[in-house]
Amino acid sequence: MSDSEKVEFTEREALFYHKTIRPGKLEIIASKPLASQRDLSLAYSPGVAVPVRAIADDPGTAYEYTAKGNLVAVISNGTAILGMGNLGALASKPVMEGKAVLFKRFADVDSIDIELDTEDCDAFIEAVALMEPSFGGINLEDIKAPECFIIEQALRERMNIPVMHDDQHGTAIIAAAGIVNACLITKRNLGDVKVVVNGAGASALACTSLIKSMGVRQENVTMCDSRGVIYIGREKVDQFKSAHAIDTDARTLGEALKGADIFLGLSVKDALTPDMIKDMAKEPIIFAMANPDPEISPPDALAVRPDAIVATGRSDYPNQVNNVLGFPFIFRGALDVRATAINEEMKVAAANAIAELAREQVPEEVAAAYGKHHQFGRDYIIPAPFDPRLMEVVPSAVAKAAMESGVAQFEIEDFDEYRHALKSRLNPTTSVLTSVYAQVKQNPKRVIFAEAEDEIMLRAAIQYRDFGYGEPILVGRTKAVLKKMVELGVSDPESYHIENSTASDYVDPMVEILYKRLQRRGYMERDIQRMVNNDRNVFASGLLKLGVGDAMITGMTRPFGQTINEVRRVLDPKPGHLPFGIHVMVGKNTTTFLADTTINERPSAEDLAVIATETAAVARRLGHEPRVAFLSYSTFGNPSGRWLDNIREAVHILDQQGPSFEYEGDMAPDAALNPTIMKNYPFSRLTGPANVLIMPGLQSANISAKLLRELAGHAVIGPMLIGMEKPVQVVPMTAIAPDVLTLAVLAAAGIAG
């Protein structure tokens, strides 16, 4: 994956990430119930004999009765790990696990990493070929050249499932998409462009082959390696490079670039100089994809050629060539038609689909991630990796190309239905959260971390700064915080902003404000002074009130109720708003919003209507079309009871207001969530299962949220505090650093708060 944005973190932090909760980044979860003896009998003996016989009679049914059709092996021998060289098979395992995680995150492809401890090509090929019955596809990774060419070619010939070396073809597909669009913007024809490729490794050779398949002429491509131009007749050129040798008088990169339209760099830092690109054609196209530092930086290139279009492998510059745009979705499409290979037609289809997507109207969530409303143009020729439309567009194009080129074993009859099914495989919350993180990086905020002496809170604060989200303001005793940071491996703890309530310049103005606020509530001025000096939540809230920070996060060391009472001594609700809490339950394909789970014990009808409206707005900000259910023990009056009036009145209030979202109530949970039960109520205004659940009271709400978190296995965001005058979030005492970081970013982005 060509994502080389410079993110700072300590070795301790990276190691902690990989070992916390449970070692590594993967686990196996059963997809069928295994609760009863009957379940076990069906899963294993004797019930498993039935699909065994079916597969023996018809091998194609393995795609129906096993996970084969959604299972890809990520395989390496560790001979070329992330530009670090040959560190061995075992050392490659964290990278291969990471690749497997990306398959799942972006395309819902199950993946298992396999590390083979051999550098012998024949042994590697034999081992992988023997695993064909287990997998629907093979993704080769981090294998050095030229062995990677030999291995991939042999496996493609021997195996009847898709095999792709992503280091070659992933980069090639994304780069080709960008070149197509850059040529469109500069009014060039692929058949006429003059291309210079610098680098002759796996990625460079694959890029060159693919652009030739897409129309660039053989004689118009000059390839250079570390010894200069690869020309016909040059000595000591292997078979892979010689396929791209041409008849030319150019011998150096500089000579080859004279008049060239396109530079494709897959080599080393600073290989391309400003003087070289001065001699390129008008509106040169420069793809400087060396990792982690490009052949020339975009600012240096544009300084001498402001008419250039520049792409790199870096996410901190426009036009990032990122493999994650390709490989998950290419395998998704190949698996869905049970393709026997990933051929040239499928790669070309993927490149064209990605190029076409960049030319479409950019969704709001993608535009927000860039910090401005970018549209197709010189700084947007390649889609963003978190564009949710990739999941629909690329697999569809790949599947169609597989069918048309004769390598598909299963035909998709309705591509509109297929695209809808693809979209529903992923939870939109994950894509929106990704864009929210990117949005905050474009517009960093100051977040006050009220409990900086707590290791989990401090680790989240360090990550907040390291990942570029803004400045953390650490509240705590200065020496204690600095000592803890040293223990966490922070190299420059003195560079952090620490506020100590016993020595801060903000204490006096804070005391003055709070005394005026609380003097008629039984507090003496000395009480306020002690409160500010001794209570971290009061002091941190005061910093937020004074505008020292943009948002605040706390909650690790005290129960929610106590913490929120301390915060509310300083901060008020937003004018006209009701503070309340939302738990966001994130499943594989669905997200459910529960409210109010933290504040209002017996909300009135008016309160319930406000909570519903505000929660629906949060759901929309996280990418969901809200369907609101007012929950009760009753479904439309059955059984009747004394606690239903406020729920029915809340529905009546929304009837009067006419909001832009679906809502219904009173409803028991099964009538709101189970499609079978919902059929019994054809008059219901909900067109599908509810995703916003408005609870009738705090007792049932808080119990439900915590039960779901502990028993149901959902990822949980929150509780998110809504409706305060300033963005404040109170994390549960059980939170881990990623939970704290997520709420801090959501508060900074205005999603939560």
* Three-state SS annotation for 326-343: CHHHHHHHHHHCCCCCCC
Judgement on whether residues 496 and 393 belong to the same structural domain of the protein: no
- Average pLDDT over the chain reads 90
Judgement on whether residues 212 and 88 belong to the same structural domain of the protein: no
User: Which residues face 591 on adjacent strands?
Assistant: 586
Residue 735 lies in a domain: no
Q: Cβ distance 161 to 138 under 8 Å?
A: yes
> Residue 450 and residue 730: Cα distance in Å, rounded?
10
- How would you class 94 by CB atoms within 10 Å of its CB: exposed for 0-12, middle for 13-18, buried for 19 or more? middle
With cut-offs at 50, 70 and 90, classify the pLDDT of residue 348.
very high
- Reply yes or no on whether the pLDDT at 368 is more than 60: no
- Reply yes or no on whether the pLDDT at 215 is more than 70: yes
| Residues with catalytic function | 44, 99
Q: Cβ distance 548 to 506 under 8 Å?
A: yes
Ramachandran angles phi, psi of 110, nearest 5°: -70, 140
> Residue 384 and residue 404: Cα distance in Å, rounded?
28
- Kindly report, residue by residue over 686-704, the tens digit of the pLDDT: 999 999 999 999 999 889 8
Number of C-beta neighbours around residue 120 at 10 A: 12
With cut-offs at 50, 70 and 90, classify the pLDDT of residue 2.
very low
664-695 per-residue burial string, b: 16 or more CB within 10 A, e: under 16: bbbbbbebbbeeebbeeeeebebeeebbbbbb
With cut-offs at 50, 70 and 90, classify the pLDDT of residue 1.
very low
Q: For strand 71-76 and strand 110-115, is the pairing parallel, antiparallel, or unpaired? A: parallel
- The arithmetic mean of pLDDT across residues 62-88, rounded, is 93
- Kindly report, residue by residue over 399-448, the tens digit of the pLDDT: 999 999 999 999 999 999 999 888 878 777 777 777 788 788 888 999 99
Residue 84 lies in a domain: yes
Percentage with pLDDT > 70 across the chain: 96
Task: Mark which of 161, 177, 199 sits at the end of a domain.
Answer: 161
Residue 395 lies in a domain: yes
Q: For strand 662-667 and strand 692-694, is the pairing parallel, antiparallel, or unpaired? A: unpaired
- How would you class 637 by CB atoms within 10 Å of its CB: exposed for 0-12, middle for 13-18, buried for 19 or more? exposed
- Kindly report, residue by residue over 108-129, the tens digit of the pLDDT: 999 999 999 999 999 999 999 9
The residue written with tokens 């804070």 in the block is 510
- Kindly report, residue by residue over 525-583, the tens digit of the pLDDT: 999 999 999 999 999 999 999 999 999 999 999 999 999 999 999 999 998 889 999 99
Q: In Å, what is the CA distance from 438 to each residue of 68, 354, 469?
A: 35, 21, 8
Q: Quick check: helix, strand or coil at residue 537? A: helix
- Reply yes or no on whether the pLDDT at 318 is more than 80: yes
- Reply yes or no on whether the pLDDT at 182 is more than 70: yes
**DSSP type of residue 61:** G
Residue 540 lies in a domain: yes
- The Cα angle at residue 285 between residues 284 and 290, in degrees rounded to 5: 125
What pLDDT is attached to residue 4?
41
What pLDDT is attached to residue 709?
80
- The Cα angle at residue 459 between residues 453 and 463, in degrees rounded to 5: 140
- Kindly report, residue by residue over 7-63, the tens digit of the pLDDT: 556 677 777 778 777 788 877 878 788 888 888 898 898 999 999 999 999 999 999
How many helices, marked H, and strands, marked E, lie in the chain? 31, 21
Q: Which of 187, 80, 77, 70 is nearest to 122 (CA)?
A: 77
Q: Cβ distance 697 to 553 under 8 Å?
A: no
Q: Quick check: helix, strand or coil at residue 594? A: strand
Ramachandran angles phi, psi of 350, nearest 5°: -65, -45
> Residue 292 and residue 282: Cα distance in Å, rounded?
28
Percentage with pLDDT > 90 across the chain: 71
- The Cα angle at residue 171 between residues 112 and 119, in degrees rounded to 5: 55
> Residue 556 and residue 461: Cα distance in Å, rounded?
13
- Reply yes or no on whether the pLDDT at 6 is more than 60: no
Judgement on whether residues 141 and 173 belong to the same structural domain of the protein: no
Judgement on whether residues 375 and 274 belong to the same structural domain of the protein: yes
What pLDDT is attached to residue 8?
57
With a CB cutoff of 8 Å and minimum separation 6, the contacts of 247 are 219, 231, 232
219-235 per-residue burial string, b: 16 or more CB within 10 A, e: under 16: ebbbbbbeeebbbeeee
Q: Which domain CATH number covers 81?
A: 3.40.50.10380
What pLDDT is attached to residue 168?
87
Judgement on whether residues 478 and 544 belong to the same structural domain of the protein: yes
Judgement on whether residues 340 and 360 belong to the same structural domain of the protein: yes
Q: Which of 503, 501, 451 is nearest to 481 (CA)?
A: 451
Residue 416 lies in a domain: yes
Q: Which of 693, 736, 60, 676 is nearest to 463 (CA)?
A: 736
- Kindly report, residue by residue over 577-635, the tens digit of the pLDDT: 899 999 998 877 788 999 999 999 999 999 999 999 999 999 988 888 999 999 999 99
Higher pLDDT, 645 or 473: 473
What pLDDT is attached to residue 622?
83
- Reply yes or no on whether the pLDDT at 497 is more than 50: yes
Edge-to-edge, what's the strand order for the sheet holding 627-631? 662-667, 627-631, 692-694, 591-595, 580-586, 715-722
Q: Cβ distance 9 to 463 under 8 Å?
A: yes
Q: Cβ distance 198 to 263 under 8 Å?
A: yes
Alpha helices (H) in 427-522, listed in sequence order: 428-442, 455-466, 478-487, 507-518
Measured over the CA atoms of residue 169, residue 173, residue 175 and residue 179, the dihedral's sign is positive
Q: Which domain CATH number covers 297?
A: 3.40.50.720
Judgement on whether residues 312 and 373 belong to the same structural domain of the protein: yes
What pLDDT is attached to residue 337?
96
HSE, side-chain direction, 13 A CA sphere, residue 26: 19
> Residue 543 and residue 507: Cα distance in Å, rounded?
9
Q: Which domain CATH number covers 491?
A: 3.40.50.10950
Task: Mark which of 389, 422, 455 sits at the end of a domain.
Answer: 422
- The arithmetic mean of pLDDT across residues 661-688, rounded, is 93
What pLDDT is attached to residue 361?
77
Judgement on whether residues 668 and 624 belong to the same structural domain of the protein: yes
Task: Mark which of 142, 161, 180 sits at the end of a domain.
Answer: 161
With a CB cutoff of 8 Å and minimum separation 6, the contacts of 531 are 514, 523, 538, 569
Q: Quick one: tokens of 731?
A: 């994390």
> Residue 722 and residue 611: Cα distance in Å, rounded?
9
Residue 34 lies in a domain: no
With a CB cutoff of 8 Å and minimum separation 6, the contacts of 49 are none
Higher pLDDT, 241 or 438: 241
What pLDDT is attached to residue 347?
95
Residue 671 lies in a domain: yes
How many domains does one find in the chain?
4
Q: Cβ distance 752 to 618 under 8 Å?
A: yes
Q: Cβ distance 457 to 552 under 8 Å?
A: no
What pLDDT is attached to residue 367?
57
Cis bond before residue 535 (omega within 30° of 0) = no
Judgement on whether residues 207 and 299 belong to the same structural domain of the protein: yes
- Reply yes or no on whether the pLDDT at 370 is more than 60: no
Edge-to-edge, what's the strand order for the sheet holding 163-165? 110-115, 71-76, 137-140, 163-165
What pLDDT is attached to residue 14?
77
Residue 28 lies in a domain: no
Number of C-beta neighbours around residue 191 at 10 A: 10
SS3 sequence of 65-121: HCHHHHEEEEEECCCCCCCCCCCCCHHHHHHHHHHHHHHHHHHCCEEEEEECCCCCH
Q: For strand 591-595 and strand 580-586, is the pairing parallel, antiparallel, or unpaired? A: antiparallel
> Residue 537 and residue 558: Cα distance in Å, rounded?
10
Judgement on whether residues 157 and 173 belong to the same structural domain of the protein: no
Judgement on whether residues 156 and 177 belong to the same structural domain of the protein: no
> Residue 698 and residue 719: Cα distance in Å, rounded?
13
With cut-offs at 50, 70 and 90, classify the pLDDT of residue 5.
very low
With cut-offs at 50, 70 and 90, classify the pLDDT of residue 365.
low
Judgement on whether residues 317 and 346 belong to the same structural domain of the protein: yes
Containing domain of residue 639, as a range? 580-723
Helix axes 202-213, 344-359, angle to 10 degrees: 80
- What's the residue count for the chain? 753
- The arithmetic mean of pLDDT across residues 271-285, rounded, is 95
- How would you class 239 by CB atoms within 10 Å of its CB: exposed for 0-12, middle for 13-18, buried for 19 or more? exposed
With a CB cutoff of 8 Å and minimum separation 6, the contacts of 414 are none
